[in-house]
Amino acid sequence: MSRNELDASEATGLNQARAISPLLHLKIVGIMSHYPEKDSDNVRVSLARFNQQSKQVLAVTGRARIFYCKYFYQVDSA
């Protein structure tokens, strides 16, 4: 998905999250995603999947959830 990917849809990704979470030299500041879509229905589906997978990551790592959602829509001028 991105530069520092954890695929939370697979057991491997959840195991990786569990393994890196207690590392003291890391400061985990958030779980983020990006939706480069114009179709709002696709964004809603992707957001629902992200929320479900985020809950799984938080559950396996024992981390508290702090939710912040920033939404903006950019219209192409062309």
Instruction: Note every long-range contact of 1-5, with CB atoms under 8 Å and residues 24 or more positions apart, other chains counting.
Output: 1/33, 2/34
How does residue 72 score in pLDDT terms, banded at 50, 70 and 90?
Answer: low
Q: What is the pLDDT of residues 9-65, one digit of tens each?
A: 899 999 999 999 999 888 877 787 777 777 888 888 988 988 899 899 999 998 877
More confidently predicted of 2 and 72: 72
Q: Which amino acid is at 13?
A: G
| Per-residue pLDDT band at 1 (split at 50, 70, 90) | very low
The pTM for the full model equals 0.70
> Distance (Å, rounded) from C-alpha 12 to C-alpha 67?
24
Q: How many CB atoms lie within 10 A of CB 53?
A: 19
Q: What is the pLDDT of residue 2?
A: 45
